Structure 1
């Protein structure tokens, strides 16, 4: 009996060992020599396409290589900034002046006592010139301008009014011991040149007869009062120069003084350039 039980147990163990390596269903796979079995990957969802980059506002053309043996193409550049034009390149013309306006201006000069005379039309070419120029020898009675100045009538009128209503009253307060002003010394009136005497750039208002440069004021007694940097000058003379410089903007559309820049350290630049909206530049 014991032998029968042992035999049955052995047979059961062999059956278990035999069935352990077999799959639950189907035939056992045949393994060929030299090949291994690899599991097939489980198919997943298709990959998403990569988003296209946004198109820039301005496209850059692709760079192409030149054919072998040819010269490389020139680098494409943006538009060049316009170079400063010389006097000849500006092709300016002399602005015509109204007969009626000139006549009215002349009457006002005569009423103020300005000593002047009309001279022939000036045309130096390339926009330099004055349609109706005048030559002034006295800006007000007894106040000479040295040397004689040539410009348009509106400049003479602005100069006479500025002297009468601003410069003379301020000088009486600032330099009472020096007596009356007897002259103004000008550094430039009409001249055919570019701004600040540069070799390139825009035509100066002096070349159109619109400007006068004042270098100093002469008195009956004492020294001339020169125009020079006086921002830190705490004297009455410093106050005089700052006062007449500021007041100049009431009579001229442009006033540049020694505090403006290095080109005007020795004089006032006064001009009557007309700007849109009545804009004035005073510095």
Structure 2
């Protein structure tokens, strides 16, 4: 059956009048190439050459991220603290600026001299003192006697205001207290001082505020010499029931009427052997008495 298929097909074509084409389609010829040229043959891209396997080296060349920096690039906190401490140690301290010696008001100074002379105080005007570091007295007085018959032993340098407060206190309260405590005929013959003007800090410390002694504002009284030859030494007497104790407590309390600062043996260990009296100015005329 398969072999007879062409015959059947031919018979059908004859019966229907169909005819076969004289020739089949002619394929288009390939256009000729220009002389001296060759057809471009696509060339595959060359495979890139892989870099050598040097991951360690590349990693070393690649900059590390901020949080991947080697530990040696970061200064430990302890080292930073030590560095700051060293810098602080090496830093020079700021120079200390001391105030200049306070200048006396001419009118006040003249009045003070007049009042001091009227009390019978013996003194001479000394030269201006400026020892640096804030120490000095503009117009110092060298006092030898507080009142007539009452010497300052030894003589001392101080401001006129200090000398005037000392003279008034001696005349108006210390001398009357001695007469009441011991005998009406007994007088104070000398105020024995332990310090007047001296350039130093408070309580002879190595640091802190400057002493009022360095401004001529203070005097330390170590004892009273009486006309009968006895001496009343300043010492702790809060529990002393004798007349010596009563006298010391009386003159200490009364001193606060004349001086802005009064420190006795009960104030601290630095004043166990003397009375510290000074005329430092305080706000509202405040007094510090201990």
Alignment TM-score > 0.5, same fold: yes
Equivalent pairs counted in the alignment come to 210
TM-aligned CA deviation for residue 188 of structure 1: 0.2
TM-aligned CA deviation for residue 71 of structure 1: 2.4
Aligned-partner Cα distance in 2 for 1:119–1:153: 11
Aligned-partner Cα distance in 2 for 1:121–1:132: 5
TM-aligned CA deviation for residue 92 of structure 1: 2.3
Alignment RMSD, CA only? 2.2
Aligned-partner Cα distance in 1 for 2:70–2:122: 78
**Paired position in structure 2 for 1:220:** 227
1:230 aligns with 2:237: yes
1:68 aligns with 2:74: no
Look up the SS of the partner of 2:265 in the other structure: coil
Aligned-partner Cα distance in 2 for 1:235–1:143: 24
The structure-2 alpha-carbon separation of the partners of 1:90 and 1:265, relative to structure 1 and needing over 3 Å to count, comes to farther
CA contact (8 A) 1:178 1:219 kept: no
Aligned-partner Cα distance in 2 for 1:142–1:264: 27
Structure 2: give runs of 5+ residues left out of the alignment: 1-66, 85-92
The structure-2 alpha-carbon separation of the partners of 1:175 and 1:67, relative to structure 1 and needing over 3 Å to count, comes to farther
The structure-2 alpha-carbon separation of the partners of 1:252 and 1:265, relative to structure 1 and needing over 3 Å to count, comes to same
Look up the SS of the partner of 1:191 in the other structure: coil
- Structure 1 runs of 4+ with >4 Å offset: none
Aligned-partner Cα distance in 2 for 1:165–1:140: 11
Aligned-partner Cα distance in 2 for 1:230–1:149: 27
1:181 aligned residue (172, 175, 188): 188
Look up the SS of the partner of 1:206 in the other structure: helix
TM-aligned CA deviation for residue 222 of structure 1: 3.3
**Paired position in structure 1 for 2:174:** 167
The structure-2 alpha-carbon separation of the partners of 1:90 and 1:261, relative to structure 1 and needing over 3 Å to count, comes to farther
* Greater RCO (Cα-Cα under 8 Å, separation 6 or more): 1
Max radius of gyration: which structure? 2
